[in-house]
Amino acid sequence: MSPMTRYFEQSVGPAPLGWVPAALTASRLALAPVMVVNAYAWGSETLFVVALCWAFVSDIYDGVIARWLKVDTPLVRRFDSATDMVFYLSTLWAVGVAHTDVFMQYVWPLMGLVALEVACNTVSCWRFGRLPATHTYTAKCWGISLFAALVLLLGFGVTGWVFTLMLALGYVAGVEVLAILLLSKRPPVDVAGLWLIQRLRLNQEMQR
């Protein structure tokens, strides 16, 4: 067995279809530059919506399939989280190009969300030497609202209460993840919420 094959199996497991979840995540990563190029070159609302829908569906099913195949390793989870960050930062860039007026209207709340994301990643790398993969319930709710808000904006030019709700949920989710990262003694993976942090810390103590 080659070193590359051994590393791959340690990362996603030896299952025959173990590559499928990582491939779904990678397809979402490949859409990040498409969002930016579309904003500059084509301005196609249909392409924006299709890309967002595929990103949303792949984000759901890469985790579902990974759990089904029993290859949902921490590395796979972190790849998923890092991909989400890259894709949605690229989408924010696309919003700034395609809907500059909306971007400027919400520039400070949006920059606050970006700063919160940077803080979470910085704290995780500083404390644990790796990117976060908490996947809290509030983060999942934010992901749904983010998808809806971006489809309405990039596909139909609409903001409204959905956009405001997305911003609010983004701050709630970001602050919760930051608190989990600060309070955990080991890298937290798939933590449903802050209310479980005490149980997580006890489990981490028992594993020492």
Task: Give the largest CA-CA distance in the chain.
Answer: 56
pLDDT by residue (tens digit) across 144-164? 999 999 999 999 999 999 999
Domains of the chain by start residue, with CATH: 15-206 (1.20.120)
pLDDT digits (tens, 9 = 90+) for 154-206: 999 999 999 999 999 999 999 999 999 998 888 888 888 888 776 665 565 55
Average pLDDT, whole number, for the chain?
A: 88
Pick from 167, 164, 192: nearest CA to 177 = 192
DSSP 99: T
Q: What is the pTM of this model?
A: 0.84
End-to-end CA distance of the chain: 32
169, 138 Cβ separation under 8 angstroms: yes
Q: State the DSSP H helix or E strand holding residue 54, giving kind and residue range, or none if neither.
A: helix 45-69
Q: How long, in residues, is the chain?
A: 208
pLDDT tens, position by position, 50-92: 999 999 999 999 988 888 888 888 888 889 989 999 999 999 9
Distance CA 84, CA 1 (A): 32
